Structure 1
Amino acid sequence: MTVHQQGDEGADSGDARVPPGRQLPTAGEYVDVQNTVVAAVLPGVVTQAHTINTVNIHHHPPAEAVRPVPRQLPATLPGFVGRTAELAALTSALEQQADGGTVTIAALTGAGGIGKTCLALHWAHQHAHRFPDGQLFVDLRGFSPPGQPMPPEAAVRGFLDALGADPARMPRDLHAQAALYRSLVAGKRVLIVLDNAATLDQLRPLLPGTFGCMVVVTSRLRLTGLVTTHGAHPIQPEVLTPAEAHHLLATRLGADRVRAEPDAVTGLLAACGGFPLALAIVAGRARSFPRTPLATLAAELRTAVSGLDAFDNIDPATSLPAVLSWSYRALTAWQREAFGLLGIAPGPDIGLAAVASLTAQPPAPARRVLRELEEVSLLEHDGHGRWRMHDLIRADATAAAERDLTDEIRAAALRRVVDSYLHTAHAADRLLNPHRQPTTPAPAAAGSHCHDLTDHAAALAWFDAEHTNLLAAQRAAADHGWHRAVADLAWTLVSYHDRRGHLQDRITAWQAVLAIPAPVPAAMRIRAHRHLGRAYADLGRPDAAIEQLRRGLVLAQDCGDRTQVAHCHRDLGSAWGSRGDNRKALAYATQALALFRALGSPVWEANALHQAARYAVHLGEHDTARAHGQAALALHRRHGNPAGTAAALESLGVLEHVSGNHDRAVEHYEQALALRRELGDSYRCAGTLDQLGQSLAALGRHERARAVWREALELYREQNRGGDSERVQQRLDNLGACDDSGGHPTLDEGTVP
């Protein structure tokens, strides 16, 4: 600053006047005077020998006292790959700085080993030129080998030293040090990387106060408070994609070595699950032993006793178990128990009712501990009421459960969650198919919680969300010898598997029942044979189906179980129909019809009627087919059975189609399709669409036929129904050829998918 002062003849020659509002130079400033001689410069006083014409007061020290420009960024790791979205988010945060006029903060949060520090440093080096006044870095040791996180006083003092603050005049109080730190970076462009933060309190003294600086924080905590109170930009790095993980190995090991063992590389990538530290450990080990085949490393990962054993290392910083253990040690005793129990829970993810059952807590505290584990990045929430762990974190949780929880605690928790799944599935099945013969599972263990289901749609959605977990729960029950739960879970899944076409899963579930050691109740074995037979028939394996159903029939007859005898006859009709023997199929269906009538089971009587109608159509017995089909439709409607109503309508549609009444066939098919869509019966929707397309094509309505066949083709492919997919694709090709030639397609008149 320049201060102009006119000479004053009456003034004391030793007094230097300063304009009003401008204080005298302070300690740390210096002056030079033009057209005069300065005798001395002291803090707060300027003395001179003559009248001062111009005094220049500067805020920067002489050249020899210029403060250093810190360049503290550690080196980045070689072979950085991916992270395009995260890098762009960091850059976007920087470029938005001008709009807000405040300090920019980006918070990189996630699990230990996910690559937060590597990402932060990679970006920081890329953009260091945009911060000419320096780059500061500190490892706050929030989650590090045994020891306490770095006190904020130590971190602030380190930054003050780096910025050239005078040690002799350093304030002792943290607040004063933080104020001095903010003063030194005020108005400057400094990048500040705060790595491995433990708490928000640890960060606050290190945050600049004015526009121009940017702060990049990394932490295993979600740091919600930093986002809420300081406007930080939250960025949560995910695991690497398969392509990125493959690129990382190729970059670290060389493309030739990776290309030479593709199967081994696939195994390595699967074991690492895109987890950056795991990939780095594998790559480092492979580079350290260049003569060791990658297949050997892959086998080591595959056969390790614990999921993390193969990622261990002497150096804690490069040992995945050690890195993850630092998060575990920071948990409370209750959080540790919940973390361990979540590790042994069946299935890849979990909902709130299952967590409440697992932990024997009401839903509110169960939700709270989930949020606490999510906050330290040991758990991920999908935003729709589901929580999951990365496979490697789950392996750590499982190891913690086996190490820190007793066998009794683990078994009791697992039983509660199995019962939670079983009893909710039982309620869901009753909503999907209330006309099934009811069963009653054993009472649930104390502390189990069921998910509340209100209607058919909620039941179907719950099954969709929990299907994989239900299969895992059945396996867990089998492992623990809870045989009744194994059978009851298989039973509760029947309607869902039927609607969604999970044929192989249906086979697996009932094979688990047959694998139960003797003695097994006869009713349980009969059901297992029956449902295996039905699944084999639907899969196009009629001989295997007939074998299972005959076994079931013999058992049912020996036990005198007339209801199961009737069901076995009906299912044998389906099996012989899938084999192409419509005469035998009709005979079994007719026998089932008589048995259900004798039992007074009108809904099952209706099911046998529309089944018999199908086989009568194929045999050319149209009058019989029409009578059976109409009788079935009336019974299903009378008893409020929409699934059976759809089946009867489809049977009548087949009859009208082969009779040449294609308009009537379309009407029946469309009504059946609407009902099946409401039921979520995607498996049978595919067949109905397939047949609807045939009738539409016969009417020359090619565009509509093409649309429904394309939808059928998509469903067939989703359901892995290869033969059906090929047939519909051929029909679409033929339809296209007809459009080109003006002809008509050749239809499979009378065939039923």
Structure 2
Amino acid sequence: MAVELRLLGAVEATANGRTLDLGPARQRCVLVALAVGAGNPTSLDQLADRVWAERLPSGGRKVLYGYLSRLRRIFEDVGVTIERRSGGYVLTVDDGAVDLHRFRTLVAGARCAESDEESLALYDQALGLWYGEAVADLDTPWFVALRGELATERLAVQLDHAEVALRCGRHAELLPALSTLAMGHPLDERLAGLLMLALHQSGRQADALERYELTRKRLADELGIDPGRQLREAHLVVLAAEPAGAPVTTNAVPRQLPAPPRWFIGRTGELAQLDQAIVAGSTVVISTIGGMGGIGKTYLALQWAYRNLHRYPDGQLFVNLGGFDGTGEPVSTAAAVRRFLDALGVVAGAIPADVDSQLGMYRGLVADRRMLIVLDNARDTAQVAPLLPGGTSCTVLVTSRHRLGGLVAAHGAQPLALGGFDPGDARALLTCRLGQDKVAAEPAAVDELVRHCAGLPLALGIVAARAASHPDFGLAAVADEMAPASARLDALDVGELTANLRAAFTASYNALSDGVALMFCQLGLVPGPDISVSAAASLFGLPGTAAASGLRELEAAHLVQQHLPGRYRMHDLITLYAAEQARRHLDQVQRTQASQRLSDFYIHTAYAGERLLDPDRPAIELPAPPPSCTPERHRDVTEALAWLETEHPAALAMLATLARAGDHARTWRLAWSLGTFQWRRGHVADNLETWRVALAAARALGDLSMLSQAHRRLGLAFARANEHEPAVEQLRQAVDVAERAGDPADLSVNHQSFAWVCARQGRDAEALLHAERALRLLPQAAVDANSLNLVGWYKARSGQFEQALEYCEAALTACRREGNREVEADTLDSLGFIAHNLGRHNEAVAHYRQAATLFSQLGHVYELANTFDILGRSLCSLGQGAEADAIWRRALALFEAQHRTSDATRIRRQLRGFERRTAVASARTPIEGLAKLH
């Protein structure tokens, strides 16, 4: 049944031409309050406020329920419903049934129409819906305010209609309506300008000039202001004396946006952020979309623009400022503003000669208009600032590869940094471009393409174009072409500047200053995932302040990203481009010197940390770094651990690079300097690979001491990884090398290590033999705490607890005398184990707690997990189940963090209660008491 709700006059409702009785005024108020927001919920409190304001009668809610119930009955047979939802009450009605909404739909269509004739027809239909003052018979404060808002909206549409009608030559029929409107709105400058132009086109130039003078005088007398830019420009048009009847387009509605993105994926959060900026803005809103070349800045700006066209009925301006096109100079301010004036319809004779005046005219023309201005591909703030509009009603979107910090600081721009796609969105984009069937047919190839493109939309688009141009080749062929890193940028080129990744990066690179361009090339030599400011300073051979300044410039150009405070990384594809530039612009000597400065930075800083972590470990020789390399200094163990933890991935990458380059001496020094850190922090796999690399370097250097230590350390790493056969083989080779070298101290340490490996295999008797042999190899004066503790530990493992106690107590006295805190922690752990097995559980708990405290202070989290494990068992033996539970949970967290799967599984069983009652004393995993196993 055809229903119509009329609000643009007295409130009425009809169904199939029959007028419906809507009841008393307050009931009609309820209907209108719901109809204004048809389809959206209106709460009961909102309804009460709109219907009664502050005059809510007693029992007002009950009265409201009555009104709603009666309205439901009135409309129950005509297809209109009133439903209660979580947010309030919702009026559901067919599209177009409410004249207010039909009016707004027609206006939106008129503003987006492709021709003036189509626009004019839609405006005529929209204005024809009005038959008086809106909601004329309702009088609460809310309805009075609504009536005023709708009157303002109607006037704006009437003026929009007049602008289009003037362009269509309908000035004669407009004059009466405009004259009448001007009488009711004598201070409306836009209306006055339109009336002047209608008079002018009707051949009444004198009347047009008189209208200007009358308006100017009223503005001065009543408001104390001069005419605005828009009215003055209309005055200029009249003074220019264009032929009467000629089209005047001073108030044209520009539609300059390029076509909307054909393929647009994701960016939900970024679109929402732009929406939020518009809602929050109380003045001209400026948003800067920044990011590296090819990241999709323009696509995002256009997608948002087309989603929000309804916000900007006065038009959209767009200019590509050419800041990073790579095809010429950026667009000048003069050229950009002239394009805008042309788009705004300013006749040639009215455009001032000088650029400043043109900018003033442009700002005046857009000052009070609801317009979107897109300044695409800006070079810097200086290029953008003159083109910012006056007034408070415009929105500006700026895209740039620079961060435009000046625009943020001086003009309140809201920055939005655009990152790459995640794998899901990357796959979705390829699916959108290539089709679901093609993507589903080769999932492995698609995974490779997504990985090679590293989330860069331009790269994904180029891949899709290549695949589409050779549909018979399959995606695997494209993936294979991109597989070698050295060929990847070549593969991301379809022969045009707009589809060439290398060209996109080159435009950003060419915009850098010479010094920063050199830094960019040097960053192409960095092997790690990121770099700190201090490491970069050594790479560049510059002071830290200069390095930080250069990195900030590169960050502003979106060529690097500061993903953590003081740490910078590059997008994978930019890294490849930087490496290309390094090979092109740096000679071999420059590349070698920069790489050596960086490697020496890591070696010397890691070595300094190592000396703090284990000062009793015999030192190695370390040549002084070059003068332009500035390693960091650590104040204490905590600072050293923090640096090693942060830089560990970068140091491992450097280690691999040094090994590939055949720089055996630096490879050995860096591997050695990472050893204690990796051991204490439980980096089992990394420790294994580090000593594999170190062993190869030691063999190449031919140093027996290095070779013995490398075999030993590699054997221990294999044992920790539960690879027992290669562990034993490496220890045998370590013993052989030490015997050939005739070094009893080194041979002793190798036997201590052998003992530990045997114990991990459950061969406790053999472990004790190795420990005792290690002790015998040392002269009496050289017997130290560590060797005593190891013999005591393996005696305890063999059940000889009283003898074990003697050795470990002697070891505790010695290590406290020597100040060796790591051996003290190991020995306390041994004493705890002995006390536990002798039934002295209180002593065991005390020893374990002291050991745990020391391991924690030393950052030795691997051994700390073991100590927590056995401490829990001792607590269980004392009946302290709750404390044992808490300690085991701490042990579990450490085991999981160290990827010690079997230990973690065992602790979970204990926590489930399977082993809490038994506390088996002999089931202890052997401790890692290897503080002296160098």
- Match 1:433 to one of 581, 594, 614: 614
Query: What is the identity, as a one-letter code, of the residue corresponding to 1:89?
Result: Q
- Match 2:280 to one of 81, 88, 96: 96
Q: Report deviation, 1:667.
A: 2.3
Alignment of structure 1 residues 178-217 onto 2, 5 Å: 178-217=359-398
What's the secondary structure of 1:449's corresponding residue? coil
What's the secondary structure of 1:493's corresponding residue? helix
Partner residue in 2 for 1:413: 594
Q: Report deviation, 1:456.
A: 0.6
Q: Report deviation, 1:103.
A: 0.9
Partner residue in 1 for 2:478: 297
- Match 2:752 to one of 545, 570, 595: 570
Query: What is the identity, as a one-letter code, of the residue corresponding to 2:207?
Result: V
Q: Does residue 756 of structure 2 align to residue 550 of structure 1?
A: no
Partner residue in 2 for 1:665: 844
Structure 2 CA distance for partners of 1:303 and 1:22, relative to 1, 3 Å: closer
1:27–1:44 CA contact under 8 A, matched in 2: no
Partner residue in 2 for 1:7: none
Q: Report deviation, 1:258.
A: 2.9
1:113–1:323 CA contact under 8 A, matched in 2: yes
User: Matched residues in 1 for 2:396 and 2:332: separation?
Assistant: 18
Q: Report deviation, 1:483.
A: 1.5
- Match 1:620 to one of 799, 805, 818: 799
Alignment of structure 1 residues 261-660 onto 2, 5 Å: 261-516=442-697, 518=700, 520-596=702-778, 598=780, 600=782, 605-660=784-839
Q: Report deviation, 1:567.
A: 1.0
Partner residue in 1 for 2:923: 751
2:665–2:701 CA contact under 8 A, matched in 1: no
2:602–2:631 CA contact under 8 A, matched in 1: yes
User: Matched residues in 1 for 2:596 and 2:419: separation?
Assistant: 33
Query: What is the identity, as a one-letter code, of the residue corresponding to 1:606?
Result: A
Partner residue in 2 for 1:30: 196
Q: Report deviation, 1:346.
A: 2.5
Query: What is the identity, as a one-letter code, of the residue corresponding to 1:30?
Result: M
Q: Report deviation, 1:491.
A: 0.9
Q: Report deviation, 1:570.
A: 0.8
Structure 2 CA distance for partners of 1:22 and 1:355, relative to 1, 3 Å: closer
2:755–2:769 CA contact under 8 A, matched in 1: yes
Q: Which runs of 5+ in 2 are unaligned?
A: 1-154, 156-185, 215-226, 239-244, 926-934
CA displacement 1:14-63 (0-9 Å, x = unmatched): xxxxxx9999x999862999xxx999426369999xxxxxxxx9968999
Query: What is the identity, as a one-letter code, of the residue corresponding to 1:492?
Result: S
Structure 2 CA distance for partners of 1:111 and 1:31, relative to 1, 3 Å: closer
Q: Does residue 266 of structure 2 align to residue 82 of structure 1?
A: yes
What's the secondary structure of 1:217's corresponding residue? strand
CA displacement 1:150-196 (0-9 Å, x = unmatched): 11111111111111112211112121111111111111111111110
What's the secondary structure of 1:208's corresponding residue? coil
Structure 2 CA distance for partners of 1:45 and 1:426, relative to 1, 3 Å: closer
CA displacement 1:207-227 (0-9 Å, x = unmatched): 012111111111010111000
What's the secondary structure of 1:734's corresponding residue? coil
1:646–1:673 CA contact under 8 A, matched in 2: yes
1:497–1:506 CA contact under 8 A, matched in 2: yes
Query: What is the identity, as a one-letter code, of the residue corresponding to 2:824?
Result: T
Structure 2 CA distance for partners of 1:64 and 1:39, relative to 1, 3 Å: closer
CA displacement 1:77-124 (0-9 Å, x = unmatched): 3342222222121111111113xxx21111111111111111111111
What's the secondary structure of 2:912's corresponding residue? helix
TM-score, structure 1 as length reference: 0.89
Partner residue in 2 for 1:51: none
User: Matched residues in 2 for 1:260 and 1:698: separation?
Assistant: 61
Query: What is the identity, as a one-letter code, of the residue corresponding to 2:368?
Result: G
Q: Does residue 280 of structure 2 align to residue 114 of structure 1?
A: no
CA-based RMSD of the aligned residues comes to 2.8
CA displacement 1:582-626 (0-9 Å, x = unmatched): 11111211222344453626xxx2222222233222211111222
Alignment of structure 1 residues 134-213 onto 2, 5 Å: 134-213=315-394
Partner residue in 2 for 1:17: none
CA displacement 1:233-289 (0-9 Å, x = unmatched): 011011222222233233333334333333222222221211222222223323333
Partner residue in 2 for 1:222: 403
Q: Does residue 197 of structure 2 align to residue 43 of structure 1?
A: no
Q: Does residue 436 of structure 2 align to residue 255 of structure 1?
A: yes
Structure 2 CA distance for partners of 1:627 and 1:307, relative to 1, 3 Å: farther
User: Matched residues in 1 for 2:455 and 2:636: separation?
Assistant: 39
Query: What is the identity, as a one-letter code, of the residue corresponding to 2:702?
Result: V
- Higher mean C-alpha deviation, range 145-154 or range 706-715: 706-715
User: Matched residues in 2 for 1:471 and 1:485: separation?
Assistant: 13
- Higher mean C-alpha deviation, range 194-203 or range 164-173: 164-173
Q: Report deviation, 1:353.
A: 2.5
Query: What is the identity, as a one-letter code, of the residue corresponding to 2:854?
Result: L
Q: Does residue 854 of structure 2 align to residue 675 of structure 1?
A: yes
Query: What is the identity, as a one-letter code, of the residue corresponding to 1:704?
Result: E
User: Matched residues in 1 for 2:350 and 2:270: separation?
Assistant: 41
User: Matched residues in 1 for 2:272 and 2:675: separation?
Assistant: 48
CA displacement 1:703-728 (0-9 Å, x = unmatched): 33333323322322222222222222
Query: Which structure's relative contact order is higher, taking Cα pairs within 8 Å and 6+ residues apart?
Result: 1
User: Matched residues in 1 for 2:353 and 2:904: separation?
Assistant: 77
1:563–1:599 CA contact under 8 A, matched in 2: no
User: Matched residues in 2 for 1:80 and 1:21: separation?
Assistant: 45
What's the secondary structure of 2:922's corresponding residue? coil
Partner residue in 2 for 1:69: 253
CA displacement 1:493-514 (0-9 Å, x = unmatched): 1111111111222222222233
Q: Which runs of 5+ in 1 are unaligned?
A: 2-19, 49-56, 739-743
CA displacement 1:126-173 (0-9 Å, x = unmatched): 112111111111111100132111111111111111111122111121
CA displacement 1:422-469 (0-9 Å, x = unmatched): 111111110111111111212223421111211111111111111122
User: Matched residues in 1 for 2:879 and 2:424: separation?
Assistant: 47
What's the secondary structure of 2:256's corresponding residue? coil
Structure 2 CA distance for partners of 1:47 and 1:279, relative to 1, 3 Å: closer
Partner residue in 2 for 1:10: none
What's the secondary structure of 2:913's corresponding residue? helix
User: Matched residues in 1 for 2:451 and 2:781: separation?
Assistant: 54
Partner residue in 1 for 2:304: 123
Partner residue in 2 for 1:688: 867
What's the secondary structure of 1:78's corresponding residue? coil
2:196–2:212 CA contact under 8 A, matched in 1: no
2:758–2:766 CA contact under 8 A, matched in 1: yes
- Higher mean C-alpha deviation, range 272-281 or range 521-530: 272-281
**Number of paired residues?**
710
Q: Does residue 902 of structure 2 align to residue 723 of structure 1?
A: yes
1:245–1:269 CA contact under 8 A, matched in 2: yes
- Percent identity between matched residues is 40
What's the secondary structure of 2:923's corresponding residue? coil
